[in-house]
Structure 1
Amino acid sequence: MRDLGSWDYVIVGAGTAGCVLANRLSEDPDVKVLLLEAGKKDNYIWIHIPVGYLHCIGNPRVDWGFKTAPTSGLNGRSLLYPRGKVLGGCSSINGMIYMRGQAWDYDHWRQLGLAGWAWDDVLPYFRKSEDHYAWDDESHAQGGNLRVEEQRMTWELLDAFRVACEQNGIPKTKDFNGGDNFGSAYFQVTQKSGVRWNGAKAFLRPAGDRPNLNVLTEAHVDRLEFENGTVTGLKLEVGGEAATVKIDGELILSAGAIGSPQILELSGIGNPEILKKAGIEPRHENRSIGENLQDHLQLRPVFKVRNALTMNELAGSWAGKAKIGLEYIFKRSGPMAMAPSQLGVFAKTDPSFETANVQYHVQPLSLPKFGEPLHSFPAMTASVCNLRPESRGHVHIASPEKTAQPEIQPNYLSAEADKRVAADAIRLTRRIMAAPAMQPYQPEEYLPGPDFTSEDDLVSAAGNIGTTIFHPVSTCRMGVDEASVVDERLRLRGFGNIRVVDASVMPTITSGNTNAPTVMIAEKGSDMIREDRRASA
């Protein structure tokens, strides 16, 4: 068995959070940092070309290839559930949208008792990591590791949709990231000159020459070894070879909302009944591990259009594909530089909401479902998701094998409030498409179809056209109550030297895309880890 030695910090998972942690913790030359990643290096070309997400999601080279359990709210359907298995993790395969969420989200965390997690507390950490292409002010910063730029394209249909939103009381905005994201704008993205800027480029490569940092890929953790509330080491495989790691300081789980609870449960930490059922001997009880799964369910209304160019026609011919390819080669712009969604809109499905409660990802294209060819007719998609779902699911192991997929049950649309928002979101989309600005394009509803009109019909339609937007969080919930998985300093309850630092610790999901909040959590988490080390010295 290969002995990987002893380390001050062992970080499990080189996704977004793990890359940030590896950089920040290894700034201290007096500590040794080991970063473990189950996937391979991020040297696959389609990671770096923005449109390459089409070749990454579902590709076992860079994606775990998870699927959800059949979900009653989706009329019994099961969904693909992509998670990055590569350096950079999900930041290597995601939609690249830079979105912090709303100040309300973090102030709510503080109201739950989580000191240090209000908007004013976390804003400095967002600014610390940011390298904004244009803004350096009280909300934004330049010179950080994470490049944020405008998309290198516009689209006539999307411009018209923004005007249609104005005609429905939703204003245009310049910045989604100042604390209140109500309005419409083209998304800003984590790209640099038309190339994806993932967590590995942003944080890992600048630290790559440090002698106190070691990064191991194809390193798949089997279980933790611990005694009396202290983790002492790991059992794992590296390139298929059994190995051990000793931990002199802290273990930091950054394997994400699926991987972090999975590793804990494989180690005997969790709900005893679930562990026994999976063939694992319980060693430490925490019934909240793997519970509280939250995700943004996006509904994908599709409208046929006329008198406008869409990606359906442009990418449907060899001439169009050649034009797209040449524009990217010579200008790093155009459709190959596009994020999966280009236009964002934050709106209220009911005026009683204090802040925007739904988010649109609007695209000048349509397809039956992800991974299938575009429709043969010109069309656009106005995807819309409930920003603050009340439905809660779970992630739990079903086998003692580390390579076995856990059960992922998101329980979409199980809460009555979520059903109401889904029905109202479809109605709002219809009102926007019926606005004067859209009439030159003669929009015709294709999905879910105009025959769905009653509340029950619309909820059923939402189950038919709903899919994940890839934002699972909260399965290792942070809280001040004893039932939470980690405390406000991200320490695993019942252990002296284990932390969880990734999207799984969010007590409630943020109001928007979750990659930027994950960077913030890792920035703040690394500061807390270093502070606690100094305090104990």
Structure 2
Amino acid sequence: MEADYVIVGAGPAGCALARRLADAPSKPSVVLLEAGPPKPSFLSIMPIGLGPLVGRRNRYNYGFRTVPQPGLNGRRGFVPRGRGVGGSSLINAMCFIRGQREDYDGWAAAGCAGWSWDDVLPLFKRSEANTRGASEWHGADGPLVVSDLPSPSPVALDFIAAAEAVGYRRNNDFNGAEQEGVGLYQVFQRHGRRLDAGRAYLHDGVARSNLTIVGNTTVERVLFDGRRAVGVSTRNANGLNQVRARREVILSGGAIASPQLLMLSGIGDAAQLHDLGIEAIVDAPEVGLNLQDHLDYTANVRMKGPGLFAYNPLAMARAALTLPAYFRGRGSLTSNAAEAGGFVCSDVSQDRPDLQFHFTIAIVDDHGRHFHFANGAALHVCALRPKSRGSVKLARPDIAEDPLIDPAFLSHSDDLELMMKGARIAHRVWQAAPLARFGPRLLYGRFDADDAELEAMIRAHADTIYHPAGTCRMGPDDRSVVDVALRVRGVEGLRVADASIMPTLVSGNTEAPSAMIGEKAADLVLGC
């Protein structure tokens, strides 16, 4: 097989990139390669079905583990990553968040010309079809349908009221003029069903003879002629094959897979590659470094209240009764679980939010892997701009071997301090009257824990909220993995386009920013 462009990985960035390249006036040929299934499961399409998908390793979820984390009492964290056409948009909570203007202006100020807020806002709008309509802040004609939740849970509205009661203002649009405040999330849904990036960008009813999507196919390494990328080596049920690229190979595997594939292809720290028996094509020590992720503390509570979801016979029976409503695009099965949340400042010294909340209508203990039959809910809090930096490294020179993922959570003391401030705010919200009337009881610890107890609670239970980024850092300097046009330094014909290129993690969820990066990559490739 041969094409003008070969894209590896069908997450939001890869799907956006493939669509835009295939739709270019010159009609280049494009092959999109994906290790997972070509179509989503029924559980993925039904929004509330994300629970069984995200908490277990399965055909739609790589379900990686971190190396032991000293900052988390030596625990190994769980790292869900989507597998299939759509990538992690198949298994996430669908929250539509772009981040803050300052995130992107910070990239530009650090030398990443063309990546300021004013540069990327048009790309965000181009990707978006907001059901509220077009505006200064939103697009209405893009592939990614963004909707208001059709049937928000009453208890999610109680969370908003409780947060207002402790002093936080309501915000009906986290992607508008200001991010700060609390409210309901808009979600990537169409008619109450998940709209993952694969179906949004690629299954839009348009026949594209120049685009070939190949699922269930693992890319083992990039092929080079000298220092020019000329294709990839693949493995699937038919054995080993090659897909050749006449123009470029573009990696869109995400913050875990893209650096892994670069290293397996001979681009990485030369000494480490030598120790694994891999010949280095480019000595690029920063490949796999700069890993950043949002650490999440979850204040899980047992309580009874309206609209909660649980894994017990009564709750499941109630959910089953809403199936007719689901087929009409409404009802509890359309819930993304993390229905409400917000962005707040940890204290008055902050000039922009540094904490994010996700309020879920069910207990989410250890990514939902620890089942509780009791009714309850959870208030998640994460530090938006962590200072801890980790890495992704190879365990063995084999794509089938999980890489060594080390987020280095809480390795910077400032992150722990900020997490403790966020946890105390979460506990205050639980005790505010609109929620306190349901009698919430923490699963672990006490609302009035002292500093030592609270630190112990965080170290014992915190883990990722699924936003890894930064491992193929973009920058103007020679040590960056890719330049500002996303070209891999030291070789030709090879780019990276996904969340791994972020110099610093954005302040929020990463699906929309990843799609934006794919949109931007297409413009860069086509010379727009």
> Under a length normalisation based on structure 1, what TM-score does the superposition of the two structures give?
0.94
SS at structure 1 position matched to 2:527: helix
The CA deviation at 1:316 is 4.0
Aligned match of 1:46 in 43, 46, 52?
43
The answer to whether the Cα contact below 8 Å between 1:35 and 1:213 also exists between their aligned partners in 2 is yes
The answer to whether the Cα contact below 8 Å between 2:482 and 2:501 also exists between their aligned partners in 1 is yes
Residues 179 and 415 of structure 1, relative CA distance in 2, 3 Å threshold: farther
**Counterpart-to-counterpart distance in 1, 2:410 and 2:345:** 18
Aligned match of 1:248 in 239, 246, 249?
246
The answer to whether the Cα contact below 8 Å between 1:291 and 1:394 also exists between their aligned partners in 2 is yes
Q: Which amino acid aligns with 1:400?
A: P
The percent of aligned pairs where both chains have the same amino acid is: 36
Aligned match of 2:458 in 435, 459, 462?
462
Unaligned segments of structure 1, at least 5 residues: 533-537
Residues 365 and 407 of structure 1, relative CA distance in 2, 3 Å threshold: same
The answer to whether the Cα contact below 8 Å between 1:103 and 1:179 also exists between their aligned partners in 2 is no
> Under a length normalisation based on structure 2, what TM-score does the superposition of the two structures give?
0.95
Aligned match of 2:527 in 515, 523, 531?
531
Q: 1:503 corresponds to which residue?
A: 499
The CA deviation at 1:486 is 0.6
**Counterpart-to-counterpart distance in 2, 1:462 and 1:45:** 35
The answer to whether the Cα contact below 8 Å between 1:129 and 1:145 also exists between their aligned partners in 2 is yes
SS at structure 1 position matched to 2:443: strand
Aligned match of 1:479 in 472, 475, 482?
475
**Counterpart-to-counterpart distance in 2, 1:162 and 1:501:** 36
Residue correspondence of structure 1 range 121-520 to structure 2 within 5 A? 121-178=119-176, 180-206=178-204, 209-306=207-304, 308=306, 310-312=308-310, 316-317=314-315, 319-329=317-327, 331-372=328-369, 374-450=371-447, 452-454=449-451, 456-520=452-516
**Counterpart-to-counterpart distance in 2, 1:458 and 1:326:** 44
Q: Which amino acid aligns with 1:509?
A: L
SS at structure 1 position matched to 2:203: helix
Q: 1:535 corresponds to which residue?
A: none
Unaligned segments of structure 2, at least 5 residues: none
Residues 313 and 235 of structure 1, relative CA distance in 2, 3 Å threshold: closer
Post-superposition Cα deviations, 1:196-234, rounded to whole Å, max 9, x if no partner, equal 111111111238622211111122111112244311222
Post-superposition Cα deviations, 1:445-483, rounded to whole Å, max 9, x if no partner, equal 3333346312x4322211112121111111001111111
The CA deviation at 1:318 is 5.1
Q: Does 1:14 align with 2:31?
A: no
The answer to whether the Cα contact below 8 Å between 2:38 and 2:214 also exists between their aligned partners in 1 is no
Comparing 378-387 with 43-52, greater Cα deviation is found at 43-52
The answer to whether the Cα contact below 8 Å between 2:474 and 2:484 also exists between their aligned partners in 1 is yes
**Counterpart-to-counterpart distance in 1, 2:315 and 2:360:** 19
The answer to whether the Cα contact below 8 Å between 2:227 and 2:281 also exists between their aligned partners in 1 is no
Residues 84 and 439 of structure 1, relative CA distance in 2, 3 Å threshold: closer
**Counterpart-to-counterpart distance in 1, 2:391 and 2:409:** 11
**Counterpart-to-counterpart distance in 2, 1:531 and 1:382:** 45
SS at structure 2 position matched to 1:244: strand
**Counterpart-to-counterpart distance in 1, 2:373 and 2:246:** 59
The CA deviation at 1:491 is 0.8
The answer to whether the Cα contact below 8 Å between 2:65 and 2:77 also exists between their aligned partners in 1 is yes
C-alpha root-mean-square deviation of aligned residues, in Å?
1.9
**Counterpart-to-counterpart distance in 1, 2:21 and 2:312:** 47
The answer to whether the Cα contact below 8 Å between 1:71 and 1:78 also exists between their aligned partners in 2 is yes
Post-superposition Cα deviations, 1:360-413, rounded to whole Å, max 9, x if no partner, equal 000232143334465343422111011101111111111111111000111111
Comparing 121-130 with 197-206, greater Cα deviation is found at 197-206
Aligned pairs, number: 526
The answer to whether the Cα contact below 8 Å between 1:314 and 1:321 also exists between their aligned partners in 2 is no
**Counterpart-to-counterpart distance in 2, 1:412 and 1:285:** 27
Q: Which amino acid aligns with 1:490?
A: L
Residues 73 and 353 of structure 1, relative CA distance in 2, 3 Å threshold: same
**Counterpart-to-counterpart distance in 2, 1:300 and 1:110:** 34
Residues 341 and 78 of structure 1, relative CA distance in 2, 3 Å threshold: same
